[in-house]
Amino acid sequence: MNIYTSSELATKTRAVCDDVKRQGCAFVTNNGKAEIMMIDLSGFDSLNDAVHSYDQWVGQRALEALWRQSNSRPMTLAEIDEEISSVRAKRP
């Protein structure tokens, strides 16, 4: 895995892209903070497959964030019952 600054990406675009193809992944930082992840898409059969994989990754990250949040403050049984009642009330 390689890490590049945004200015390196701007001045050495071809070299960074070639490195991503060789290594499979690279990160671009701005002021020391990771902002962009570049990945080689040649392993996917189509762009749609790559987009689907990205969507799954985003969904997994969201699910993990929910799990962390729920672990930091578990719901009481009363809160769970209230949530279930609320959803049921909204059903037609």
pLDDT surpasses 90 at 82: yes
Q: How many domains does the chain have?
A: 2
pLDDT surpasses 90 at 73: no
The arithmetic mean of pLDDT across residues 5-32, rounded, is 94
**Could you tell me where the DSSP H helices lie in 1-92?**
6-11, 13-23, 47-72, 77-90
Of 45-49, 53-57, 65-69, which range is least confident? 65-69
The arithmetic mean of pLDDT across residues 33-48, rounded, is 94
35 & 49 share domain? no
29 & 61 share domain? no
- The pTM for the full model equals 0.63
pLDDT surpasses 90 at 74: no
- What six digits make up the tokens of 76? 């009481």
Q: For residues 84 and 91, what is the distance between their CA atoms, to the nearest angstrom?
A: 11
pLDDT surpasses 80 at 1: no
Strand-pairing partners, residue 27, are 3, 37
90 & 50 share domain? yes
Q: What are residue 47's phi and psi, to 5 degrees?
A: -65, -35
33 & 49 share domain? no
Q: For residues 77 and 63, what is the distance between their CA atoms, to the nearest angstrom?
A: 21
27 & 5 share domain? yes
- CATH number where 30 lies: 3.40.1620.10
Print the domain residue range for 15: 1-40
